[in-house]
Amino acid sequence: MKVKVNGIELELAPGTSAIDAVFAAGSDVPYFCSHEYMSPVGSCRMCLAKIGAPRKDRATGNWVLDEETGEPQIFWFPNPMATCTTAIMEGMVIETEAEEAVKAQRGMVEMTLINHPLDCPICDKGGACELQDRAYEYGEGISRFEFDKRHQEKHHQLSELITLDRERCIHCKRCIRFFEEVPGDEVLDFIERGGHTYIATVEEGLESNFTGNITDLCPVGALLDRTSRFKGRNWEYEHTITSSLDDASGSAIVLDSRTGRLERIKAELNTQVNKLWIDDSTRFGYEYVNSSERIKTPLIRKGDNLEAASWQEVSEFIADKLAKLAQKEAAIVLRADSTLEEGYAAKNLAKILETGQIDHYPRQLASVIPNNSASLNDLASSDAIFVIGDVSQNVPIVDLRIKDALKGVAPPEMFEHGVPIADLRLKERMIRKKEILTVAAPYNVDLMRHAGQAHIYEANSEEAIFKALTKIANGEDSSVAAMSNEQAEALVKRLNEANNAIIIYDGFSLASPAAAIAARNFANAVGAKEIILGQMANSYGLEAIQVLPSHERYGYAEIMQGSAKALIISELNPANNSQYAQNLKELELLVVHSIFENETTALADVVLPAKSGYEKQGTIVNLEGRLLEVNAAPIDAGQAQDFEFLAASIIAALGKEGKEDLASLAHKAIRKQFGVDSKKLDPEGDLKPLKPRANNKAKLHIQSTNIGNALIVPTMLRLEYIDKNPHLLAERGAAKLTMNSIDADANGLKNAEIVSLDVAGIKRSFSVQIKDSVPAGLWLIPALPEQAIGLLELDRASLKKELEPA
Amino acid sequence: MMDTKIQAFFADKQDLLSEILERYPDYGQRSAVMPLLRAVQDAERHVSELRIKEIADILGISATAVKGVMSFYSTYHEQPVGKYHIQICSTLSCSLAGSDEMYDYLANELDLVNGETDKDGQFSLQKVECLGSCTTAPVLQINDDYYENVGKKRCKHLVDSMRENKLEKPWRERKGDHEGAEKAKPLQKTALKGVS
Amino acid sequence: MDNITSRHDPRFEVTMYKYMGVENSHKLDFYEQHGGYQTAKKALTTMQSVDIVNEVKASGLRGRGGAGFPMGVKWSFMPPVDGRQRFIVCNADESEPGSTKDRFVLEDDPHQLIEGMIIAGYAIQATLGVIYIRGEYHLGYTRLYDAINEARAKGYLGKNVLASNFDFDLILHRGAGAYICGEESALMNSFEGYRANPRLKPPFPAQAGVYGFPTSVNNVTSIASGVHIIAKGADWFKSMGTQDSSGFHHVQISGPAVRRGVYEVPMGITYREIIFDLAGGVTEPVKAFIPGGSSCPMFPFTDEYLDLTMEYGVVAKAGSMMGTGGIILIPEDKCIVDALANVVHFYAHESCGKCTPCREGVSTWLPKMYAKLLAGLGESGDLELLEDVSHNIRGRSFCPLADACIMPVQASIKHFRHEYEYIIEHGKSMYAKKSRWQE
Ligand SMILES: Cc1cc2nc3c(=O)[nH]c(=O)nc-3n(C[C@H](O)[C@H](O)[C@H](O)COP(=O)(O)O)c2cc1C
Ligand code: SF4
Ligand code: FES
C-alpha cells in the first residue's frame, strides 16, 4: 500500500498503523499510550497528525480526481487524527508537521501537563522520561493553566517492589493494559472516572509474577522500582545489556550500575525471547550482589580459620594438592547456570586432572535437549499446546509466550524502526483461545487459570500419562489419569491436527528417564515440537557441551557420597545436606568457588570468590537452543572471578598451560559445536538447537522414586539469595511449604506459621501455606539449586514449629 | 466488641444470586457485576470492601476489577447513605426551574452539605446530574422514586413526611400526551405534508 | 379509551405515544387489547428478515438516539448469519440533559418496546436482545422487568416466539449513573461488566459488539418506531416529515415554556410551532434555545432560527444538531456564562477519563475557568484562552463526549460573546441571579 508521510512516499503492508508509517518514513510523532506489544488504545491523543486519503467514486469505482492536478483528490479528515489507531489506506497522506497537527500536539502536551507536578528534579525517571522528552520536543514550554493542580498521594506503595506517585500519572493505561493483556492478571485498574481517575489495586500487593514491567513501561515517573529508588540519576548509570542467568529463558536485561554497585535491572528488548518483559525474580532478585557479606578475596584454611590470600597463593596450594592425586580422584562440579566458557574450562581442567568426575547441577536424569525443538516464537504462534508441569514458576517467560499464543496473533513483522509501535491486531481484552491450551500438573498451577483444560494428576504419573496418550494417538484404547476419555481424545486430536503443536514439560517429567522418553514418544506420535524446561539458565548448554560425568559412578550425587578425594565446586552448597557434609569433611581437598559463605565454605580448604551472573562475560544456551551473550557490568566484587579464571589459575599453577588459553579454546569449541562465533553473536542470540546425544555418557541410571510424600517444585525465586534480596523477600516472603488443609490440621499447622523440616538431609525453614488445591498428602517444597525437582519421601517427624506467625 | 464473622451477603440469598447470574449467558457472567453491586447496595445502602471481594469471588474476577467498575458509577456508594437518600438534579433544565434554590433550602433545612449523611443515618443529600425529568423540573429523587415538579410547598411537605417517616409514593406527575387536549391550538404555521 | 385526543395538530395521529399516561397502559392485557404483539406476529410469521430491514430502510427512519443514522442501513451492516450469537441492543440510557422521551415508553408502554425488540431481533437475526436502561429509571425498570416476564409467560419471548421457529429473549440490564454509557461502545463495556470507557472503532458493533458478537445498537424510540413501520408500512411513515427526515419524532421542551412536556410530532415542523403552538409559548422572555439536548449548540431565539424546520439536514446546516429533540429554552435574564458553567459541569462530571483532552480539558480545566469567571475573577485574555483551549479539545478526543461539551461552549461564545466580556470586565454577571423556584 502506498502512503505519503510528510512528502515521503512509502510502500507498506496493509494493516500498518499510521504511526508506524510515520516512523517508517523517518519522521517522528510523540506518543504516550501506545506501546510495542500492547493494544493501541488511542487515549493519550498525543500522536495527532493531519491525515487525508483519496476516495473512490461509488458509481464508477474510479478515484475522484483533483480538477486542477488530475491526481486523485485528497479528502482530509475534518480533525487531526490519532495515528496510533488509524490504519493506513491506499494513497493516504499523513502530515505530522502541518500547522494544525503541530498546534494539536502542542495543545495536548499542555493538557497532559496541567495536572502533572513537574517534579523532575526529584524524580527517578528524570532524564529517562518520555513525558519530559516529549514535552521539550513538542510542547510550548509554558503552561496557561493557572489553577491548583490535582493533589493526590505521592508515595503510594503498591507493593514492596513498586511505588506509585499518583500525581505524576498521565493515565496512559499502559500499566493496566499490561496486566490484563500480558500476564492476564487484572490486579490494577483505574478507580473513579473523569478528572478524578486514579490507579489502584484493592488486592493485597500485586499478585502477579511480572509486576516490575510496569515500572519500565510507565512513560513517566509514576511507577517506580522500589529497589532502586533514589539510588542514582539516569545519566549517572552505566547500562550493560546482557542475558539474565535467572532462568532458562536467557531473557534480555539491562544492568544499571553506578560506582561499582548494581542499582537496577530493567527489561531489554529481545523480540525472539522475552520481548520487553521479565519476571519479578529476574528484575528484583539482584540486590544480593551488593551485599557486604560477599566473599571478596580468596581464603585459605589456617587451622579453624579461613584467612585471606591471593589467587596466586591459593592456586599454588590447590595445584600442590591436586598433583598428588591419582587419575579419577579429583571431581569438579559447576552450577547449572555457569557459562559455556566456564563449562569448557571445567572440562579442560578435568582433562588435565585425568578425571571423569565432572558434572553440573541441578541436573536431572533425562536430557533437557529436545528432539524436535520449538522456539519461543514458535510457541507464541502455536495452535495447540500441552503443558505438563509448572511453567510459570520454572521459566515465567514461557508462561507469557503461551499467553501470546492464546491471543492468536503471530509475532509482528519488524520495521526498520523496530517492533511496530501500534500493532493494530492487538486489542484490549482479546478473546483468548483457551481451548488450545491443556495444562496438567500434580497440583494446581497458575497457568491452569488460562487453560481450556486443566488436570491435576497424582505426582509421578507423567510416564503413565504420556504412555496412555501415545496409545490413544496410535489408535489404541487407553485411559489417562485425571482425564476423561473424551478429554484425552480431544487433546490428542487437537495436537494431531494442529499446524504447530507444542508439548512443554519440565523437571517433573525429567526426574524419571522413562517419563522423559514417554514424553518424547508422545511428541513424536502427534507430530508436536517440544520445549523442555531446564532448571537453570544454562542447563541446556552445559549438557550440550557435555559437562557430564564419564561414568554413571561419577555423577553429582556419587561425588557427594564420596567417590572423589578432591572436589572443586562452584556456587553450590552441598554441605547444607548433612549426609553430604559428612563426606565432604573426609576430602583431601575441598575447593569452594562461592559468592557467600555457607555450610560448604565452612568445610573448605580453599574458598575462592565467585562472580555473580551480572559480572561474568560469556555465553549461555537457553531452552530453545539459542546462544546468548552474557556481559559483565562494572560491579565492585573485589577479587571475585569466574570459573574460567579459576581453572586457568590452577592449570597455570600445575604448569600445564597449553599453547592456547582457555578463552580461545572455548571460543573454538563453541564454533565447532554450534557453528557460531561466540564473539559475534547476534544481539538477539543465535538459534542453534542441537539434537540430544544418543550415547549420553551420563547414563540414565538412577531409578526415580515412585513413592513419596513431598514434591520438590520449581520456584521462580532464587531461594539461595532470597535473604539478601530484602525487597523481594518482603514481597514474596520466606520459602513456602504448601499443603492441603487436611495435612495442616493433622499437623496442627496454621497459615504463615514458620516451621523447619529436614528435606532429604537438608534442614530448611518454611512458612506454611495452606491451599486446598494441593492434593491431600502431598507437600510442596520449593527447590534449591542443590535439589533437583521431583518426588521425594519426607521425614515428616522432623517438622518443628519455629515461630508463631506475627 | 466480639469478633463476629460477617456473613456473606448472598449466603442466604441463593435464589436472588442465581436469578441474577442466569440472566446472562455462560460466557458473559461478568455482566452480573452491576446487578450484584446493585443488590448489595439496595439492601445495605452501600457496598463495602468485603462485599466487593465477595462479588469478585462469585464472578472469578479480581476485587480490583470490581472496584474499578463500581467506582466508575455515581450511584454505588462506599459509605452508607441515609434512609432517605435525597438526590437533587442540578443540571440545566432543573436549574432553570429552581433546583439550586431547592438545594439551598434542603441543605439548610437538613443541615447537610452535598454528599453528606446525617449522623443518625436518616438523610443523605446529594446533587446529581440530569435525571431525565427535564420537562417536569425540578426533580427530586428520594431513594428510587422521582418526585417531579417539586415546588417550595411540596418540597417542605416531602421533608416533613420524611421526618415523620410517612413519605408517600409520588403521584404520577406526568401529564400524559392525551391530556390537555382542550388547551391545544391547531398548528397554524405549516401545512403538514401528507396529513389530510 | 381508544380515541385519545391530543393537544397535537388534530390532523396528525399520535402513534407511539398513544397510550402514555393511560391507566394500566404498561400491562400486557392492555397492550393486547390494543392490538399488541400483532405486528410482531405479522413480522415473524409472514415476513422474511430481509423484508423487515428493507421496509425500515424504505421508511427512512433515522436513529432517534442523537446521531440520526438510518436504522435500516445500520441493520444491513450486520454480517451474514454464520451461526454465531448476534445481539440487538436497545439503548435506554437516556441521559442527555433535556431528554426524557424514552422514559415515557419505558414506563408507560414497555410492551411496545418489547415488541419492537422482537421485530428488530428478527430483522437482524439476533436471538438475544439487551435493553440497557439507565440506573435511575427505577419505575421504568420495574415495569419493563414485569413486562418481560409477562411476555415470556405468554410466549412472546423465549423459544419459538409466536410459533414462528424464531427464538428470542431479552436481557434487561441497569446502568448505575454514567452518561457515557449512552455512547454505544461504552454501553457494551458497561453491560459486559467492565468500566464504561468507549471502545475503539473499528471494529463497529456490527462486526464485534456485545461479547465480541455482531450487534446493532438502537435507541428506544427508534426500536419502537419499527413496530409502527412494520404495522403500517414505510409509505405511511414517509407520509410524515420530509425527504431528509421522515416520520415522527418526540420533542421535549423544558425551560420557561407554558406547557413543558413531550410531544410526538411529525418531522419538518418548525421550532416556532413546537414552542408556541404545542408548548403554548414562553412564560418569560427567552434569548436562546438548545434544539436537541445540551450537547447541541444553542440558537438565538430569533425568527431566523425559530423558523427552521425540524430536519436533520436543516438543523445541521444552521450549525447545530437535531440530537434527541430535547429543546431547552434559556431565559433572557439567565447569565449565559452561568448556564454554560452548568452544562460544562455536567460533562466534566460525566467524562470517563480515558483520553487526555476530555479528562484534563473538559473534566478539569474548563470547569475551573468557568468557576473563575463566575467568581468575578475573570481577567482580560481569559475569553481568548477559553476559546483556544476549546479549540485544542474539539475534534481531538477519543469519543464525542468532549465535543458535546465544547460545541455548546463555542456556540455560547459565538452568540453571546458580550456576556462573557461583561462578566470579565465587571467581575459580575450581566444578569443578577433570579429565583425561578415555583411555589
Ligand atoms: C456521549 C454520548 C452519549 C450518548 N447517549 C445516548 C443515550 O443516552 N441514548 C441513546 O439512545 N443514544 C446515545 N448516544 C448515541 C449512541 O452512541 C448511539 O448512536 C445510539 O444509541 C444509536 O441508536 P440510534 O441509531 O437509534 O440513534 C450517545 C452518544 C454519545 C457519543
Ligand atoms: S501509572 Fe504510568 S503507566 Fe500507569 S497509567 Fe499512569 S502514567 Fe500510565
Ligand atoms: S493516542 Fe496515545 S499514542 Fe496515539
For B108-145, write each residue's pLDDT tens digit: 999 999 999 999 999 999 999 999 999 999 999 999 99
What does chain B come to in residues? Answer: 196
The rounded mean pLDDT for chain B is 88
Q: Mean per-residue pLDDT for A754-770?
A: 94
Q: Pick the ligand that lies closest to the CA of residue A32.
A: 3
Residue B188 has pLDDT above 60, yes or no: no
- In the chain, the amino acid numbered A57 is D
Take atom 2 of ligand 2 and give the residue whose Cα is closest: A218
Give the end-to-end CA distance of chain C in Å, rounded to a whole number: 34
Does ligand 2 lie within 6 Å of residue A218's CB atom? yes
For chain A, percent of residues with pLDDT exceeding 70 = 98
Lookup result for grid cell 415470556: C152
Averaged confidence pLDDT in chain A: 95
Q: What's the pLDDT score for residue B31?
A: 98
What is B84-163's CATH topology?
Glutaredoxin (3.40.30)
Tell me what the mean pLDDT of segment A207-217 comes to: 97
Q: Which has the closest alpha carbon to A630: A279, A245, A277?
A: A245
Tens-digit pLDDT profile for residues C250-277: 999 999 999 898 889 999 999 999 999 8
Which amino acid is it at A719?
A: L
Does this model's pTM top 0.80?
A: yes
CA–CA gap between residue A73 and residue A52 (Å, rounded): 9
pLDDT in tens, C163-178: 999 999 999 999 999 9
CATH of the structural domain C6-238, one choice from 3.40.50.11540, 3.40.718.10, 1.10.10.10, 3.30.70.141:
3.40.50.11540
* B52, B61, B71 member nearest A186 (Cβ): B61
Confidence band (pLDDT; 50, 70, 90) for C9?
low
Dihedral of CA A194/A200/A201/A202: which sign? negative
- Average pLDDT, integer, range A67-80: 93
CA distance A214 to A224: 8
Is beta strand A384-388 parallel, antiparallel or unpaired with respect to A501-505? parallel
Residue A524 in contact with residue A318, Cβ under 8 Å? Answer: no
pLDDT at B5: 66
Cα-flanking dihedrals φ and ψ of residue A301, to 5°?
A: -75, 125
The alpha carbon of C180 and the centre of ligand 1 are apart by a number of angstroms equal to 9
Q: What is the mean pLDDT of residues C80-105?
A: 97
Question: What phi, psi does C226 have (nearest 5°)?
Answer: -55, -35
Quick one: pLDDT at residue A113?
96
Distance A398 CA to ligand 3 centre (A): 30
Cβ distance of C361 and A44 shorter than 8 Å:
no
More confident residue, A111 or A696: A111
Band the pLDDT of A702: cuts 50, 70, 90: very low
Question: What is the grid cell recorded at A85?
Answer: 489507531
Residue whose CB lies within 8 A of the most ligand 2 atoms, among A116, A174, A276, for a mutation test: A174
State how far the alpha carbon of A801 is from the alpha carbons of A228, A749, A750, A754, B135, in Å.
Answer: 35, 8, 10, 6, 73
| Residue B173 backbone phi and psi in degrees, to 5 | -75, -35
Query: Would the pLDDT of B196 be above 70?
Result: no
**Cα–Cα distance for residue pair C278/A279, rounded to 1 Å:** 68
Q: What is the pLDDT of residues C190-224, one digit of tens each?
A: 999 999 999 999 999 999 999 999 999 999 999 99
Q: pLDDT per residue over A30-51, tens digit each?
A: 999 999 999 999 999 999 999 9
Is the pLDDT confidence value at A706 over 50? yes
C-alpha of residue A220 to centroid of ligand 2, in Å: 7
Q: In the predicted model, is pLDDT for residue C290 greater than 50? A: yes
* Domain limits, chain B: 14-72, 84-163
Query: How far is residue A723 from each of residues A287, A716, A782, A785, measured CA to CA in Å?
Result: 10, 15, 15, 15
Task: Name which of B21, B75, B130, B195 to mutate to probe chain C: the one with the most chain C Cβ atoms within 10 A of its Cβ.
Answer: B130
CA distances from A564 to A356, A559, A588, A589, A599 (A): 10, 6, 9, 10, 19
Mean pLDDT of C124-144: 97
pLDDT (0 to 100) of residue A802? 83
> Mutation test of ligand 2: which of A38, A125, A172 has the most ligand atoms closer than 8 Å to its C-beta?
A172
Give contacts of B25 with chain A, Cβ < 8 Å: none
Backbone phi and psi for residue A662, each to the nearest 5 degrees, phi listed first: -60, -35
Residue with cell 561466540: A678
Question: How near does any CA of chain A get to the CA of B85, in Å?
Answer: 21
pLDDT tens digits for range A76-86: 999 999 999 99
pLDDT at B177: 44
Query: What's chain A's length in residues?
Result: 806
- Whether residue B74 and residue C136 make contact (CB cut-off 8 A), yes or no, is no
CA of C353 from ligand 3 middle (Å) equals 15
- A205 φψ region: left (φ > 0), alpha (ψ -120 to 50), beta (else): left
pLDDT band, very low/low/confident/very high, at A142 (cuts 50, 70, 90): confident
d(CA A477, CA A461): 18
Partners of C385 on chain A (C-beta within 8 Å) are 144
Checking if the pLDDT of A772 tops 60, the result is yes
Nearest to C361 by CA among C403, C321, C320: C403
pLDDT tens for each residue of C63-85: 999 999 999 999 999 999 999 99
C256 and B146 in contact by Cβ < 8 A?
A: no
- Return the ligand number nearest the Cα of C70: 1
Whether A173 is in the pocket of ligand 2, judged by its Cβ within 6 Å, is: yes
Residue B191, pLDDT score: 38
> What pLDDT does residue A365 have?
84
Indicate if ligand 2 lies below 6 Å from the C-beta of A252: no
In whole angstroms, how far apart are CA C377 and each of A2, C382, C409, C410?
Answer: 54, 10, 19, 21
Pairs from C204-207 (Cβ < 8 Å, separation ≥ 24): C204/C77, C205/C89, C206/C74, C206/C77, C206/C78, C206/C79, C207/C79
Distance from residue A173's CA to the centre of ligand 2 (Å):
6
* Distance, CA of A802 to CA of A794 (rounded, Å): 18
List pLDDT tens digits, range A322-360: 999 999 999 999 999 999 999 999 999 999 999 999 999
Asked if residue A292 has pLDDT above 50, the reply is yes
Chain B nearest C-alpha distance from A352 (Å): 60
pLDDT digits (tens, 9 = 90+) for C20-60: 888 889 999 999 999 999 999 999 999 999 999 999 999 99
Instruction: Give the helix/strand (H/E) hosting A266.
Output: strand A261-267
Q: Strand, helix or coil at A256?
A: strand
Q: Give the B window 157-186 contacts with C, CB below 8 Å.
A: 172, 174-181, 183-186
Backbone angles phi, psi at C177, to 5 degrees: 95, 75
Percent of chain C residues topping a pLDDT of 90: 91
Per-residue pLDDT at C20: 83
- For Cα atoms C247, C98, C94, give the angle at the middle one, nearest 5 degrees: 75
Q: Where are the alpha helices (DSSP H) in C79-137?
A: 101-108, 110-123
Can you tell me the mean pLDDT for A556-563?
Answer: 94
Instruction: Give the CA angle between residues A354, A360, A365 to the nearest 5°.
Output: 110
Q: Residue A45's closest CA among C39, C397, C163? A: C397
Instruction: Say which CATH architecture domain B14-72 belongs to.
Output: Orthogonal Bundle (1.10)
pLDDT band at B185; cut points 50, 70, 90: very low
- What is the structure's pLDDT at C19? 86
CA C247 to chain centre: 16
Per-residue pLDDT at B173: 52
Q: Which pLDDT score, from 0 to 100, does residue B187 have?
A: 46
Which residue type is seen at B25? P
The owner of cell 489506506 is A89
Give the number of the ligand closest to the Cα of residue A134: 3
Query: Cβ–Cβ of C200/A42 closer than 8 Å?
Result: yes
Please check the confidence at residue C18 and state whether its pLDDT lies above 90. no
Which residues contact residue B18 at a Cβ distance below 8 angstroms, ignoring those fewer than 6 apart? none
A195 touches chain C (CB under 8 A): yes
- Report whether pLDDT(B2) > 60: no
pLDDT at B192: 37
pLDDT bracket for residue A713 (50, 70, 90): very high
Find out whether the beta carbon of A319 lies less than 6 Å from any atom of ligand 2: no
Give the distance, in angstroms, between the CA of residue B11 and the centroid of all CA atoms in the same chain.
Answer: 26
Residue C135: name the closest of B98, B28, B100, B146 by CA.
B146
Which ligand 3 atom is at minimum distance from the Cα of A30?
A: 3
Taking residue A133's Cβ as centre, other Cβ atoms within 10 Å add up to 13
- Percent residues over pLDDT 90 in chain B: 82
Beta strands A437-441; A384-388: pairing state: parallel
For residue A418, the cross-strand partners are A415
**Mean pLDDT across A62-91:** 94
3-state secondary structure of A223: strand
For residue B140, the chain C residues in CB contact (below 8 A) are: none
pLDDT (tens digit per residue) in B59-95: 999 999 999 999 999 999 999 999 999 999 999 999 9
C-alpha to C-alpha distance for A49 and A36, rounded to whole angstroms: 20
Report the residue among A129, A158, A223 best suited for mutation to probe ligand 2: largest number of ligand atoms under 8 A from its CB.
A223
Mean pLDDT confidence for A564-591: 96
Ligand number, closest to the Cα atom of A164? 2
Average pLDDT over residues C349-362: 98
Each residue of B146-166: b (16+ CB within 10 Å) or e? Answer: bbbbbeeeebeebbeebeeee
Q: Ligand 1 mean position to C169 CA, how many Å?
A: 23
Q: How far apart are CA A585 and CA A261, in angstroms?
A: 36
- Closest atom of ligand 3 to CA, residue A42: 1
CA distances from A232 to A118, A237, B64 (A): 19, 7, 33
Q: Class for domain C336-438, per CATH?
A: mainly alpha
Q: Picking from A478-492, A691-705, C403-417, which range would have the lowest pLDDT averaged per residue? A: A691-705
Spatial separation of the C-alpha atoms in residues A431 and A151, rounded to whole Å: 37
C100, C210, C238 ranked by CB distance to B135: nearest: C100
